[in-house]
Amino acid sequence: MRTPVIAGNWKMNLLRDDAVALARDVASALDGSTGVEVVVCPVFTVLSSVAEAFAGGSVEVGGQNCYGVESGAFTGEISPQMLRDAGCAWTIIGHSERRQIFNESDALLNKKLHFALASGLKVMFCIGETLEERESGAMNDVLRRQVIEGLKGLDDTDFTRVVLAYEPVWAIGTGVTATPEQAEEAHAFTRELVAEAFGGTVAADLRIQYGGSVKPDNAAELLAKENVDGALVGGAALQADSFAAIVKAAR
C-alpha cells in the first residue's frame, strides 16, 4: 500500500499575511486527517512563517526549488540547507515552469536532486510532456528521458525519499485535466520505466502524484486509479476548502 501524498504548490503567490492565514485555514480544515501525507510549498520569503503556522501538526512544508550547492556565489539561488533552516522537510525539483521558463536541463535537475537528498530533504520530482510532444507521439520518449536522466544514480535508499509528480504541461493552469485514463496510462508507463532502470521493488513502492488542474470535483476519480498515488495541486491549493476537499478525496 502506498500512502497518498497531496501537495499544494502555491507557486509565486501570496504575501505573508495571506500565506499565514491560508496555512491556518488549511491546518484547521485538515484537523484529524489520517492516511494521507500533506505538504504545502509556499514562496521562499514566507516559508518560516508558514512552517510556524503548521508547527505541531502533520502538514509538512516544502520549497518549490533549490540549487545543488550548499552556499556561495550563486546570486538568486537557495540551498537545501537554507530550506531546512526555514522549516522545510521537502522540495519540489524539476517543475515544468522551471524546465521551460528557466531552461533547467535534465542534467542540472539530476544534480539538484542528488544534493537535496544528500542534504536531508524529501523531493517531489516533476516530469511531464508538452501538448506538442504528446500530439507528435513523443510523449513516451520524453518521459523516458526525464526519468532516466533525471533520476540517474539514485539508489534504493534515495528512492524512499523521492516522490514523482507526473504533470502534463498542457493540463497545468489550463482547466484541462488529463482524464483518469490518460493519467493512469502515463503513471503506469512511468512506473515501468522506473522498474526497468531501478528494479521492481523501488518501482512498486514509488509514489507518483498527478498534477494539472486537479480540483475537488475531479480528484476522487484521478486518485482512484491504481497508479495515481497523490496530487500536486496548483490553483486549487490557494483555497483552504478546495485543498482540504482534495486531501479528503485521497483518504
Task: Give the active site residues.
Answer: 95, 167
Q: Which residues pair with 233 in a beta bridge?
A: 8
- Which of 88/236 has CB closer to ligand 13P? 236
Work out how close the CB of 199 gets to ligand 13P at its nearest, in angstroms, rounded to a whole number. 28
Which of 59, 82, 123, 232 binds ligand 13P (CB under 6 A)? It is 232
**Residues with Cβ < 8 Å from 94, sequence gap 6 or more?**
104, 109, 112, 113, 125, 126, 127, 146, 150
Please state, in angstroms and rounded to a whole number, the distance separating the CA atoms of residues 191 and 39. 22
Which of 154, 194, 233, 246 binds ligand 13P (CB under 6 A)? It is 233
Among positions 74-113, residues that touch ligand 13P (CB under 6 A) are: 95
Main-chain dihedrals φ then ψ at residue 203, nearest 5 degrees: -65, -40
Buried b (16+ CB within 10 A) or exposed e, 182-213: bbbbbbebbbebbeeebeeebbeebbbbbbbb
Which of 146, 213, 218, 227 binds ligand 13P (CB under 6 A)? It is 213
- Which of 172/206 has CB closer to ligand 13P? 172
Work out how close the CB of 63 gets to ligand 13P at its nearest, in angstroms, rounded to a whole number. 13
- 214 binds ligand 13P, rule: CB under 6 A: yes
Main-chain dihedrals φ then ψ at residue 209, nearest 5 degrees: -85, 155
- 172 binds ligand 13P, rule: CB under 6 A: yes
Binding positions for ligand 13P, rule: CB under 6 A: 9, 95, 167, 172-173, 211-214, 232-236
